[in-house]
Every structure is written in C-alpha cells, then in structure tokens.
Amino acid sequence: MSKRGNHNFNLPEGNLYLIIIGLLCVSVFFYNGYLGGISLIIFAYLTYHNFKVSDLRKKEWSKYLQNLSLDIDDTTKKAILHLPMPLCILEFDGTVSWYNNKFENTTQVKDMIGMNIEELVPNLNLRKVLNEQKELYTNIEYNGKYYNIVYNIVKSQKDTSNAKYMIMVYWIDKSDYSNLAKKYLDEKEVLGLLQIDSYDEVLQSAPEDKRPLLMAEVDRTIKSWANNNNIALRKNGTDKYVLITNKATIDKLEEEKFLILDEIREIDVDNTLPVTLSIGIGLMGKNSFENMESAIHSLDLALGRGGDQAVIKKLDKTIFFGGRSKAVEKKTRVKARLIAFALKNMIKESQKIYIMGHKYPDLDALGAAIGVHSICKQLGKESQIVLKNSISSIDLLIDRINKDESYDYSFIKGEEAIKFCDKDTLVVVVDTHRPSFTECPELLEISEKVVLIDHHRRGVEFIGDAVLSYHETYASSTCEMVTELIQYISDRNFLTKLEAEALLSGITLDTKNFNFKTGVRTFEAAATLRKRGADPTSVKKLFQGDFDNFLSKAEVIKNVKIIGNKMALSVCPDDVVNPQLVIAQGADELLNVKGVRASIVLGQGEDDVIFVSARSLGDINVQVLMEKLNGGGHIDVAGAQLKDVSMDEALEQVEELIIDYLKEES
C-alpha cells in the first residue's frame, strides 16, 4: 500500500468509507450469496488492515515526537548554558537556583546556588517584578559595566496545582552604548559668564599704588584657573569674562564646589574689601543660543543673590555654589535717583495703583508699602495697599493706622483688587520678588505695569517681567530702599510722623535693632526718618509683646537643641498669640549662646502654617537652608513657611537639613 493510501486511511472519514463498503457488501449478499460472502471476507480484511495501519502510524508519530522533544530539550539546555549573555534563575525570595557561565564570569563569584541575589547585586528590585507580574526592565551599573536587566516570570511545571514559578533574569550588556552616551554628554558645549563683584569698590579699597597689582593678581588667578581646567576664557570688559568648556569640566568643578570662589577671595593686596566672583553657567540647551540665555539668567541670579557664587542652569534645574559673602554696599546713590525718577513718572501716568508685600507681612513689608503709598499721595495719586488680614506681627502698627483718618479706604482685599485691576493698573510689589509669595499673585497676571522693590537675595522664582525693578541685596531692608527713593521724590518733607515711624520700624526689624546687615546708607536712612519725625521710643513700642510672649520666648530658649555644636534648633509653644514675633526674637536670643553660629526656631501660626525663622552670625548661610524649605532671605536672616505638615514633621525635616548642611560644610 502506498504512503498516500495509508495517509487516506488515517483520515477522519476513513471509517465512513468502511461503513459504506460494508453496506454494499450486505446488499450484494442478498442478491448473490457467493459474491456477497467473498465481499464480506474482503471487507473484514480491509477493516483489520485499516486499524492495524492506523495503530502503527500512531506509534511511529509518538516515537517521532518523543525523539523530537528530546532533541529540543537537549538543544535548549545547550543554548541556555552557552547563552551569549549572563542569565540566572531565581526563586521568588531572591535565592539563586541556577546560573550560566556568563553570569559567573560577570559576578566573579563561584558556588552561588542558594545565595540571595541581593547579596550579589543590591540594585535589583524583585518586589516590583512580583507586583507587576510581567516582563520588566531595569538599568544598573555593576562592576564597572552597564546592564539592561530583563526580568521574566516563568512556570516550571504544567500541572497548575503544583506549578512552580521562577524568575529568569537576563543581563544585556550595554556598556558600549552607555560609554558612548556618556562621552557625548561629557563633550556637550557649555557657555558661561564670569564677573568680578563690585569691581570698582574693591579696587578703591586698595591703596592707589597697589591697585594695578590687585588687577593683575585677579586676572592671573582667573586665567590660571581656566587653563588648569581646560576652559577657553575671553575677557570682554574690565570685570567680565566669557567661558567656553564642556560638561565634563563642569562636573569636575561641581565636585570641587568651584574652589575658584575661595581662591579669589584669598587675594590680599592691602584691599579692605575681598575680591569675589559671580559665575553663570548654561548647559544642556538645544543649541548655543539657549546655553547663552541660560548663562545670562544664571549670572543675573548670582548677582541678585549677592554675588560670590556660581549658578548652574541645566534645563529646568538650577544649582548654587558659594554665596558665603555679604553683598558689598554701594556708596553711590545714582541708581536710587534714577529709580525714583522712573517711579515718579509711572505713578503720574497711572490711574489705579495697588501696593502689596508678601503673604503674612511683617513690619518691613507694611512699612515699605506705607512709604510707597505716601509717595503716591505726594504726587496727587490715590493708591491702595493690598492686605488680606492683619496678623499679630503688625497689629500694633495697623491699630495706629486705623486711627488716622487720612488712611481711610487705603487698604483693600485681594479679591476686590482683582475686580478693578486691568492691564494698565500700576502694581508695586515690595519686600518680595517671588510671584507666588505676594499677597495677591493674580494681580501680577492681570497688570502689565509691575514695579519691584526688594532687598532679599534672589531665588529661582522671580518677577522677571517687571517694567521697573529695584533689587539691591546689600540694602538692610526694603524700608531703607523706599526711604532713599522718598528723598528724590520731593525736596520738602511730606512724610507724616506715622509714615516715618512705619519705615523706621521696618529697618529696625530687619537689622535687629541695627545689629545685623547695617551699612552707612542704613544709618543715613534712619537719620533721615528721624529728622522727619520718627520717634525711636514710639517705634520700639511696635515690637513690644505681652508677658505671655516673654514667657514663650523663654520657653523657646529652654527647649533648644544644639546640633553639631554649631546650630541651635527650637520650637515655639503652641498656645502663643504672636508666634512670628516670638520665633524671631527667640532666634535672635539663641545667637547669644556661646558656640552657636546659627539658630532656627519654628512656630505654629494661623491657618495651620508653620513659620520658620533662621538667624546666623554670618559664617553659616541660612538663606540656603531656607530655600530648601521654599523660603529665602539673606545669609544671616532668613525664613520660610511650611504648609500641610505637622510640627513634628517640620522639626524632623529642618533637623535633617541642618545635619546635611553640616556634613557638606565639613
């Protein structure tokens, strides 16, 4: 019988054919018994032969499939054993059940059966694999190489009731790609700008015969630093340089924390003012134009924060280095005169004027707002101060203002101001440069005429579209800056006694009774206000607290915790009526403790807001600490406000910041 015949007999309809033949044989038997008998015998043989052949074919197919399965299993085992990539099989608890030679060569560890994979490779995240129950990928670095780890869960037995699941982990070596990508990033172009801070003032602080030597030493130090770090340097002014380098160099400078800032500060040619630098770096932009824009923005940020620091802008990330020196006070008042002239014209041209400080205002914010309000009155323009609610730190001043009939209708809530504000409304922002921190941020979005007056060291968030910006970090307070502007608005004295005292209270607050951050211009501004009717005794009464506050301040001092023998951390009692005043005074008092270089005090305020007040003797930059809490300020005076956290969580957060800062400092 041919193969084709055998194949046909094995078809499903073969039995049907036999039945038909059987019926035909029976039919023949009725007509002719002899032929019918022969037909039945033949039919019986055909039936027997069909079943015999079918059984034989089944056995042959079964044997063939068994041999094929054995061949596949053997091939699979050999393929896995000699797989050109590391492979290991893990239990669900991470125990190594099996591995190939490549994996052993990768780990350089023998006899790993029974070991936990986390002992060998701590970066593997098996828990995530078990939770996802699907193929996952992870990139890790191991023994100097980069791998793309592929996790796959497999079932080792067909029987569902006794099924055993294993994790197969494939290691795909991508070191060449990673090294090439790293090389590409390392060679990315970086543009930077360098500027010597307050160059003229520093130069004048040296003896005249040594000024050329000072200039030469500064230039030599900068060029030597550039040459040692493979930086292309081009001087484009007496105090300005352009830098061109690559990302690898910037990474190195970051690790060194820009030592040039310390090296340049050590230059001593009998100059009384230290030489400091401001550096702005732009990288990771799409092209050179974006990098230069980032460099310009970074330099502006460094200068706005007082100089003596390097600012690196990587796309949306900004990194700060340095910033330990105080801004140098500028002796010339040319800028103040020009700002006063521009502000005077803008006020005269405006029909509606709103003045606002920061949320939860202090005496400096309110005093400066009152000063600008007084300027508007002098120029014959009506203005209103945007204030949500009076808080304990300004209650005494607000009470005095409410008794003055000339200040009727001088305050407005933010919701009402929004209704009447339009693009031509003049909005004057005082004592803050952060849009989200203002009393009513919506006004900044509506108005196209924004004036900024602030003295805080600049942060990443900034009112960048102000038509007039008076931002001086050397100033002791915003009230000092407004007082100088007032002197150029009119020759005659137009300040009332209340307005002069409001301005003096702001200066007194931010200088801590003229003990911190005071310069010649600070005392000149105070003297001007004194001449215009401000009574220091009356101003001092604005800072008076009741007996409970005095006890609360004593409680702050009692509960202090000294961290690292340098920094004091304490918390204000919960039942304090005026927490902002207590924590500020408590932080000041803690600086009187021997060995304490900085202090931070927390207090629970209104609306479940936790206020943080930080003070320093100058060698610890509390502004950097407060910026990490979304706050800001100066090197020696800074603060922050925390929301949606408990006091315990806030204390833990601040303590961690202090510990990390001290570790970096050491």
Considering the domain architecture, whether residues 236 and 92 belong to the same structural domain is answered as no
Considering the domain architecture, whether residues 390 and 498 belong to the same structural domain is answered as yes
Residue 145 domain flag: yes
Residue 310 domain flag: yes
Euclidean distance between CA atoms 344 and 24, whole angstroms:
122
Q: Which residues of 322-346 are buried (b: 16+ CB within 10 A; e: fewer)?
A: bbbbbbbbbeeeeebeebbeebbeb
Structure tokens, 303: 């200068």
Mean pLDDT of 114-124: 78
Considering the domain architecture, whether residues 526 and 622 belong to the same structural domain is answered as no
Residue 327 domain flag: no
Euclidean distance between CA atoms 492 and 114, whole angstroms:
91
Considering the domain architecture, whether residues 37 and 57 belong to the same structural domain is answered as yes
Residue 419 domain flag: yes
Which three-class secondary structure state does DSSP give residue 433? coil
Euclidean distance between CA atoms 485 and 553, whole angstroms:
36
Beta strands in 545-636 (DSSP E): 561-563, 567-571, 598-604, 610-616, 632-633
Considering the domain architecture, whether residues 211 and 303 belong to the same structural domain is answered as yes
Distance of CA 225 to the CA centre of its chain: 29
CATH of the domain at 645: 3.10.310.30
Mean pLDDT of 96-101: 82
486: pLDDT strictly greater than 90: yes
Considering the domain architecture, whether residues 414 and 533 belong to the same structural domain is answered as yes
Considering the domain architecture, whether residues 392 and 527 belong to the same structural domain is answered as yes
pLDDT at position 8 is 42
Whole-angstrom CA distances from 100 to 121, 123, 125, 143 are 16, 20, 21, 18
Q: Which residues of 244-255 are buried (b: 16+ CB within 10 A; e: fewer)?
A: ebbbbbbeebee
Nearest 5°: the CA angle 414, 418, 424 is: 125
Structure tokens, 501: 């005292």
Mean pLDDT of 153-163: 61
The model's confidence at residue 205, banded by pLDDT at 50, 70 and 90, is: confident
Q: How many CB atoms lie within 10 A of CB 431?
A: 29
Whole-angstrom CA distances from 163 to 157, 159, 361, 565 are 5, 6, 68, 61
Nearest 5°: the CA angle 429, 434, 436 is: 100
Considering the domain architecture, whether residues 356 and 473 belong to the same structural domain is answered as yes
Least confident of 109-113, 380-384, 609-613: 109-113
485: pLDDT strictly greater than 90: yes
Question: Dihedrals φ, ψ of 331, to 5°?
Answer: -80, -30
CATH of the domain at 238: 3.30.70.270
Euclidean distance between CA atoms 631 and 459, whole angstroms:
9
Question: Dihedrals φ, ψ of 494, to 5°?
Answer: -115, 0
Residue from 104, 67, 64 nearest 88 by CA: 104
Residue 134 domain flag: yes
- Burial of residue 607 (CB within 10 Å: 0-12, 13-18, 19+) is exposed
Considering the domain architecture, whether residues 348 and 492 belong to the same structural domain is answered as yes
606: pLDDT strictly greater than 90: no
Residue 305 domain flag: yes
Q: Are strands 277-283 and 309-314 parallel, antiparallel or unpaired?
A: parallel
Euclidean distance between CA atoms 595 and 229, whole angstroms:
38
Mean pLDDT of 303-309: 82
497: pLDDT strictly greater than 90: yes
The model's confidence at residue 602, banded by pLDDT at 50, 70 and 90, is: very high
pLDDT at position 64 is 60
Least confident of 5-19, 265-279, 538-552: 5-19
The end-to-end CA distance of the chain, in Å, is 96
Question: Dihedrals φ, ψ of 27, to 5°?
Answer: -60, -45
**Residues spanned by the domain of 648:** 547-665
pLDDT at position 138 is 78
- Helix, strand, coil % in the chain, rounded to nearest 5: 50, 20, 30
Number of domains the chain is built from: 5
Q: Which residue has the tokens 């309000």?
A: 373
Please give the DSSP secondary-structure letter assigned to residue 467. S
Q: How many CB atoms lie within 10 A of CB 632?
A: 23
Considering the domain architecture, whether residues 534 and 558 belong to the same structural domain is answered as no
Euclidean distance between CA atoms 49 and 643, whole angstroms:
91
pLDDT in tens, 267-298: 998 888 889 999 999 998 889 999 999 999 89
Euclidean distance between CA atoms 293 and 283, whole angstroms:
10
310: pLDDT strictly greater than 50: yes
CATH of the domain at 126: 3.30.450.20
* Gyration radius (Cα) of the chain, Å: 41
Q: Which residue has the tokens 């030469």?
A: 216
Q: Are strands 317-322 and 277-283 parallel, antiparallel or unpaired?
A: unpaired
Domain boundary (53, 80, 107) is at 80
330: pLDDT strictly greater than 70: no
| Residue count of the chain | 666
Instruction: Provide the phi-psi class of 606: left if phi over 0, else alpha when psi is between -120 and 50, else beta.
Output: beta
Whole-angstrom CA distances from 653 to 165, 598, 637, 663 are 43, 17, 19, 16
Residue from 67, 115, 69, 63 nearest 89 by CA: 115
Considering the domain architecture, whether residues 552 and 647 belong to the same structural domain is answered as yes
pTM of full prediction above 0.75: no
Q: Whole-number mean pLDDT of the chain?
A: 84
pLDDT at position 131 is 57
Domain boundary (511, 541, 571) is at 541
CATH of the domain at 483: 3.90.1640.10
Q: Are strands 598-604 and 567-571 parallel, antiparallel or unpaired?
A: parallel
pLDDT in tens, 405-461: 888 889 999 999 999 999 999 999 999 998 988 999 999 999 999 999 998 888 778
Considering the domain architecture, whether residues 360 and 495 belong to the same structural domain is answered as yes
Beta strands in 213-316 (DSSP E): 232-235, 240-246, 277-283, 309-314
pLDDT in tens, 629-638: 888 887 888 8
26: pLDDT strictly greater than 80: no
pLDDT at position 47 is 79
Euclidean distance between CA atoms 656 and 117, whole angstroms:
32
Domain boundary (160, 182, 204) is at 182
Distance of CA 47 to the CA centre of its chain: 86
Residue 136 domain flag: yes
6: pLDDT strictly greater than 50: no
Whole-angstrom CA distances from 62 to 68, 159, 588 are 10, 21, 92
Residue 328 domain flag: no
